[in-house]
């Protein structure tokens, strides 16, 4: 059962909420208790941009059992406008068209589930803009 | 800190050991190491293992192995740092002897990966569960992200990746303990099944069972035993962000750079002083990146070095992974870091047979966890 | 003035051609394409469901309405493919869009008219002065059994409508609902696919209820078919909406803008709502729109909308339905379709 664990990540997975360091302005996604840049401990919540570019990518062809029925699926590191990078699946993509530097947009999709009768787990994926 | 030496080593065959349990594997390696060292006891022991809980449903591995090795009530501790668990286990033994707390310590590592667990899922626990693995990324996938970025930035080629696998299989073919004792061609590598573009099956280290153990002792003990001791002249460890995407530059592994800086400083050596290196080639791209980050080649030239044969046993530049590396020798995750030390031990003792690097006196082992969120580096020297 | 202040539609990019399905079952494709006027349909991606479709549609509606999501007082999603049997789809949507937690949420089910019912209730809340804005959504990843006639039409998509009283883009002038116990189509709890009464779904069900609601709506409004620029009816196939329009006295030109079914399929609860979105994409100030949904079981909801001057400001703020329908297509073969729709028995 991953219920509680899933629930606490909702602000990040659904809305891309990050922590902005009040001292140096560094954006942490997900939010942290200590700023990795200046070590300050006070933050405000900000929402990240839903647009970005593809930094690097792969196509997962051999996945864990949980994702094995969805292969092949592309996964990339996406740099969102503002500089924060996230790892995300690239949905609905024509694999042959993917290239580094590609403009992307974040969408809300089902990511996985906790088995046939367990909860459904949603979150962000990227699509070609 | 006082001088610390390695006085004995033992390992099992690496591979699919269907008839051996995780206990059988560890105990076999530990008994060989104890026998090789010629000691009549050990003061304490460390067991490096990445994920026995997921692979075989067993945690509390220190106690389990002390019990089955028949050495209770000595202190026995499970050490975990993902794929660097073996290196971290060795470092704990080193520190314990160096501090003077113990005289003879066993540093072991083991993994039993073929008992039916979802290996892809278990290995992925070394990455950020919530922000990498949640999205379905796998370890080959994460290293593929590094590979593509490295290819884009430095012009590293598919052929250069293949050259790493070809060389490591050539070395592994000469290692009696290796999982794959067969050579492969670049064409075979580049035509093997795609796992995570651009990485193919023969770019990846295999799923393996295996155990490895060494006996770490003080110089006093070595002298009493009249052993030819191999000195540990540097032990360094570094960490980095757990998620690959959190790093400013994903074509370099900062934990490797930082641990190497420390290790060279402690040992008072530079890359040119190293006669051979065992690097953590969990994927071919990892060998290219680490040989750059360890300072053996200019950044971006690791692929060219592999392709030109500058990393082969025969080459005078820097023989890399004479054991066959993780690629060919096998990668029972927790055992890997200790097995690297064993390769150095044999090479520096001049007992590596057809893999012997002539005149090798200084060797380095680089072992890392995840996508380099942890890295352990040791430098050993023949006395 | 109470009505729609923002609207948005969403269609997945995957398609399957009627011909591909017909070939799979040895059926003459002509019977489907010419007979039912169904050429292709949308198919949800493996990671799409009623909730993700609703989120996408509602995001576009918010973009058009340009309101603070916190001011939305109610969210109702109508669907017959809610991913959970118990747990409202809207609970996930509100957290994705930053609505609530001070908000009413419920999942609606009334076969293919659950969406229009959600729209009606949202509208009523605002009209009653209970809240500033309310969101009504119709969305589905429709089920049709393999080999059944429904397989040619059951598709995926949805539309979202934010109701309010300021900066209204389409005022709701009149509504009417017409319902009876008519077992034309149903799905029992725990069953994967719906069953239907074949030709019984026609005259006694679809035509009777749409005609019932439409006739009452025309009487109530004292309007006649020629007063309307556009009309949209529930679209189970290409034929029925044209036929019911004809019986009521509407002309083909009035139906064309909302008649998206031949290339989209039947998005069940999303059917007439997506048709309405397609009309709003092209409507001009002053246009009157006539809409009647149909849900098996059975009932129809009728609405009369008058488009306001605000419409031209919002149309370009989000993707238009015809753009999504005509561009961005990825065609699937039957095997891929069966995999996407989880019709293959797995060893799990």
Three-class DSSP labels, chain B: CCCEEEEEEEECCCECCCCCCHHHHHHHHHHHHHHHHCCCCCCEEEEECCCHHHHCCCCCHHHHHHHHHCCCCCCEEEECECECHHHHHHHHHHHHHHCCCCCEEEEEEEEECCCCCCHHHHHHCCCCCCCCHHHCCCHHHHHHHHHHHHHHHHCCCHHHHHHHHHHHHHHHCCCCCCCCCCCCCHHHHHHCCEEECCEEHHHECCCCEEEEEEEEEEHHHHHHCCCCCEEEEEEEEEECCCCHHHCCCCCCCHHHHHHHHHHHHHHCCCHHHCCEEECCCCEHHHHHHHHHHCCCCCCCCHHHHHHCCCCCCCCCCCCECCCCHHHHHCCCHHHHHHHHHHHHHHHHHCCCHHHCCCCCCEEEEEEEECCCCEEEEEEEEEC
Give the C-alpha separation, C201 to C240, whole Å: 11
Give the C-alpha separation, B266 to B261, whole Å: 9
Answer yes or no: do A108 and C98 touch at CB < 8 A: no
- Alpha-carbon dihedral angle through residues B249, B251, B253, B257, given to the nearest 10 degrees: -90
CATH class (in words) of the domain with range A49-129:
mainly beta
Q: Is there a domain that residue B29 lies in?
A: yes
Share of chain B above pLDDT 70, in %: 100
Same-domain pairing of B76 and B186: no
Q: Is there a domain that residue B174 lies in?
A: yes
Number of C-beta neighbours around residue C70 at 10 A: 13
B375 is an active site residue: no
Smallest CA-to-CA distance from C57 within C277, C296, C306 is with: C277
The per-residue pLDDT of chain C, averaged, comes to 97
Q: Which residue of B has its CA nearest to A125?
A: B135
User: SS in 3 state form for C45-91?
Assistant: CCCCCHHHHHHHHHHHHHHHHCCCHHHEEEEEEECCCCCCCCCCHHH
Answer yes or no: do B136 and A75 touch at CB < 8 A: yes
Which of B150, B169, B275, B331 is flagged as catalytic?
A: B331
Same-domain pairing of B81 and B151: no
Same-domain pairing of B47 and B64: yes
Give the C-alpha separation, A37 to A26, whole Å: 7
pLDDT over 80 at C348, yes or no: no
Structure tokens at C233: 């009816």
Give the C-alpha separation, C226 to B170, whole Å: 84
Positive or negative, the CA dihedral B280, B282, B286, B291 is positive
Answer yes or no: do B136 and A67 touch at CB < 8 A: yes
B41 is an active site residue: no
Could you give the angle at which helices B333-349 and B85-98 cross, rounded to 10 degrees? 60
pLDDT tens-digit series, residues B328-374? 999 999 999 999 999 999 999 999 999 999 999 999 999 999 999 99
Burial class (CB in 10 A: 0-12, 13-18, 19+), A116: exposed
What Rg do the C-alpha atoms of chain C give, in angstroms? Answer: 19
Same-domain pairing of B246 and B220: no
C234 is an active site residue: yes
Structure tokens at C250: 């509407």
Same-domain pairing of B244 and B369: yes
C314 within 8 A of C169, measured Cβ to Cβ? yes
Q: Is there a domain that residue B291 lies in?
A: yes
Answer yes or no: do A111 and C47 touch at CB < 8 A: yes
pLDDT tens-digit series, residues C299-335? 999 999 999 999 999 999 999 999 999 988 999 999 9
Domain with CATH 3.40.47.10 in chain C: 3-169+319-340, 170-307
- C13 in contact with A, Cβ within 8 Å: yes
For tokens 């990846």, name the residue.
B204
Structure tokens at B229: 């001791």
Residues 318-337 of C with CB under 8 A from A: 330
Per-residue pLDDT, B150: 98
Q: How many A×C Cβ pairs under 8 Å?
A: 49
CATH class (in words) of the domain with range C3-169+319-340:
alpha beta
Minimum distance, in Å, between the CA of residue B377 and any CA atom of chain A: 25
Q: Which of B131, B138, B152 sits opposite A60 (nearest CB)?
A: B138
Give the C-alpha separation, B18 to B14, whole Å: 11
Give the C-alpha separation, B276 to B85, whole Å: 22
Same-domain pairing of B14 and B143: no
CA contacts within 13 A on the Cβ side of C300 = 28
B112 within 8 A of B55, measured Cβ to Cβ? yes
Residues 49-108 of A with CB under 8 A from C: 69-70, 89, 91-92, 94, 107-108
Same-domain pairing of B301 and B224: no
Same-domain pairing of B68 and B190: no
pLDDT over 80 at A1, yes or no: no
Report CA-CA distances (Å) from B102 to A58, B94, B208, B235: 48, 10, 32, 17
pLDDT over 90 at C96, yes or no: yes
Query: What DSSP designation does C309 have?
Result: T
Give the C-alpha separation, C121 to C130, whole Å: 12
Smallest CA-to-CA distance from B372 within B202, B249, B214 is with: B249
pLDDT over 90 at B1, yes or no: no
pLDDT tens-digit series, residues A90-117? 999 999 999 999 999 999 999 999 998 9
Per-residue pLDDT, B316: 79
B89 within 8 A of B184, measured Cβ to Cβ? no
Structure tokens at C122: 């949202």
Number of C-beta neighbours around residue C208 at 10 A: 18
Give the C-alpha separation, A70 to C314, whole Å: 37
Cis peptide before C298 (omega within 30 of 0): yes
Query: What DSSP designation does C204 have?
Result: I
pLDDT over 70 at B63, yes or no: yes
Per-residue pLDDT, A103: 98
Residue ranges of chain A whose CB lies within 8 Å of a chain B CB: 9, 12-13, 29-30, 36, 55-67, 70, 73, 75-77, 85-89, 100, 111-112, 121, 123, 125
Share of chain C above pLDDT 70, in %: 100
Same-domain pairing of B154 and B288: yes
The per-residue pLDDT of chain A, averaged, comes to 96
CATH code reported for the domain at C170-307: 3.40.47.10
How far, in whole angstroms, is CA B75 from its chain's centroid?
24
Q: Which of C45, C49, C348 sits opposite A91 (nearest CB)?
A: C45
pLDDT tens-digit series, residues B251-303? 999 999 999 999 999 999 999 999 999 999 999 999 999 999 999 999 999 99
Per-residue pLDDT, C31: 87
Please tell me the total count of domains within chain B: 2
Report CA-CA distances (Å) from C161 to A104, C137, C234: 27, 6, 17
Size (chain B), residues: 383
Which of B78, B83, B275, B375 is flagged as catalytic?
A: B83
Smallest CA-to-CA distance from C135 within C144, C145, C127, C125 is with: C125
C21 within 8 A of C331, measured Cβ to Cβ? no
pLDDT tens-digit series, residues B170-206? 999 999 999 999 999 999 999 999 999 999 999 999 9
Q: Is there a domain that residue B191 lies in?
A: yes
Same-domain pairing of B107 and B59: yes
Q: Is there a domain that residue B126 lies in?
A: no
Structure tokens at C218: 């025309």
Q: Is there a domain that residue B197 lies in?
A: yes
CATH, residue B157: 3.40.47.10
Expressed as residue numbers, the domain containing B113 is 4-118+207-230
């Amino acid at each position: 059962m991953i219920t509680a664990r899933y629930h606490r990540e909702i602000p990040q997975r659904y809305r891309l909420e990050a922590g902005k360091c009040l001292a140096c302005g560094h954006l942490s996604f997900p939010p942290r208790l200590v700023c990795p840049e200046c070590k300050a401990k006070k933050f405000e919540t900000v929402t990240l941009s839903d647009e970005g570019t593809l930094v690097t990518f792969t196509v997962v062809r051999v996945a864990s059992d949980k994702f094995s029925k969805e292969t092949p699926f592309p996964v990339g590191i996406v740099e969102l406008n503002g500089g924060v990078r996230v790892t995300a699946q690239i949905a609905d993509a024509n694999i042959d068209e993917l290239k580094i530097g590609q403009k992307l947009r974040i969408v809300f999709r089902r990511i996985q589930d906790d088995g046939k009768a367990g909860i459904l787990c949603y979150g962000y994926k990227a699509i070609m803009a | 800190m006082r001088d610390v030496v390695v006085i004995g080593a033992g390992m099992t065959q690496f591979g699919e050991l269907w008839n051996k349990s995780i206990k059988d594997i560890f105990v076999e390696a530990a008994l060989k190491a104890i026998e090789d060292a010629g000691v009549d006891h050990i003061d304490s022991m460390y067991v490096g293992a990445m994920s026995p809980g997921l692979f075989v449903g067993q945690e509390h591995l220190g106690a389990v192995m002390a019990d089955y090795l028949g050495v209770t009530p000595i202190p026995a501790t499970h050490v975990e740092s993902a794929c660097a668990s073996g290196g971290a286990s060795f470092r704990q033994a080193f520190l314990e002897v160096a501090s003077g707390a113990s005289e003879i310590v066993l540093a072991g590592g083991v993994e039993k990966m073929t008992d039916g667990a979802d290996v892809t899922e278990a290995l992925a626990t070394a990455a950020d569960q919530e922000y990498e693995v949640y999205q379905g990324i796998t370890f080959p996938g994460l290293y593929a992200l590094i590979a593509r970025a490295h290819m884009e930035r430095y012009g590293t080629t598919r052929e250069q990746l293949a050259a790493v696998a070809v060389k490591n299989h050539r070395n592994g073919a000469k290692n009696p303990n290796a999982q794959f004792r067969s050579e492969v061609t670049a064409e075979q590598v580049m035509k093997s099944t795609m796992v995570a573009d651009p990485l193919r099956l023969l770019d990846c280290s295999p799923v393996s069972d295996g155990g490895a153990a060494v006996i770490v002792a003080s110089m006093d003990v070595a002298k009493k035993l009249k052993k030819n001791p191999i000195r540990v002249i540097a032990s360094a460890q570094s960490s980095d962000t757990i998620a690959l995407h959190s790093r400013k530059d994903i074509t370099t592994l900062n934990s490797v750079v930082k641990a190497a800086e420390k290790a060279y400083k402690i040992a008072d050596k530079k890359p040119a002083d190293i006669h051979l290196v065992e690097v953590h080639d969990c994927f071919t791209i990892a060998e290219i990146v680490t040989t750059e980050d360890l300072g053996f080649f200019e950044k971006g030239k690791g692929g060219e070095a592999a392709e030109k044969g500058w990393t082969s046993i025969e080459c005078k530049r820097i023989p890399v992974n004479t054991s066959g590396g993780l690629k060919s020798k096998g990668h029972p995750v927790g055992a890997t870091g200790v097995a690297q030390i064993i390769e150095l031990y044999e090479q520096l003792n001049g007992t590596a047979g057809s893999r012997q690097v002539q005149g090798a006196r200084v060797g380095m082992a680089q072992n890392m966890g995840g996508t380099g969120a942890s890295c352990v580096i040791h430098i050993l020297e023949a006395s | 003035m109470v009505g729609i202040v923002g609207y948005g539609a969403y269609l997945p990019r995957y398609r399957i051609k009627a011909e591909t399905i017909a070939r799979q079952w040895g059926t003459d494709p002509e019977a489907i394409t010419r007979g039912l006027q169904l050429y292709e349909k949308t198919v949800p991606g493996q990671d799409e469901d009623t909730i993700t479709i609703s989120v996408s549609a509602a995001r576009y509606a918010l973009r058009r309405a340009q309101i603070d999501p916190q001011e939305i007082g109610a969210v109702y999603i109508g669907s017959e493919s809610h991913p959970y049997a118990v747990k409202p789809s809207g609970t996930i949507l509100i957290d994705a869009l930053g609505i609530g937690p001070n908000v009413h949420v419920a999942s609606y089910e009334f076969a293919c008219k659950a969406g229009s019912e959600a729209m009606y209730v949202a509208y009523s809340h605002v009209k009653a002065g209970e809240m500033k804005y309310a969101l009504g959504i119709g969305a589905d990843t429709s089920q049709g059994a393999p080999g059944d006639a429904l397989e040619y039409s059951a598709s995926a998509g949805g539309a979202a409508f934010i109701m309010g009283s300021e900066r209204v883009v389409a005022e709701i002038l009149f509504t009417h609902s017409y319902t009876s116990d008519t077992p034309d189509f149903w799905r029992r709890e725990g069953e994967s696919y719906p069953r239907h009464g074949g030709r019984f779904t026609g005259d006694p069900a679809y035509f009777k209820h749409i005609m019932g609601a439409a006739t009452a709506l025309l009487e109530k409004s004292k309007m006649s078919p020629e007063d309307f620029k556009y009309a949209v009816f529930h679209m189970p196939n290409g034929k029925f909406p044209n036929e019911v329009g004809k019986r009521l006295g509407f002309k083909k030109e009035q139906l064309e803008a909302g008649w998206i079914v031949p290339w989209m399929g039947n998005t069940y609860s999303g059917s007439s709502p997506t048709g309405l979105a397609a009309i709003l994409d092209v409507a001009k100030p002053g246009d009157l729109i006539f809409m009647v949904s149909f849900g098996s079981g059975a009932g129809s909801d009728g609405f009369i909308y008058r488009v306001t001057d605000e419409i031209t400001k919002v149309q370009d703020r989000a993707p238009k339905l015809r753009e999504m329908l005509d561009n961005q297509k990825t065609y699937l073969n039957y095997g891929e379709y069966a995999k996407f729709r989880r019709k293959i028995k797995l060893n799990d």
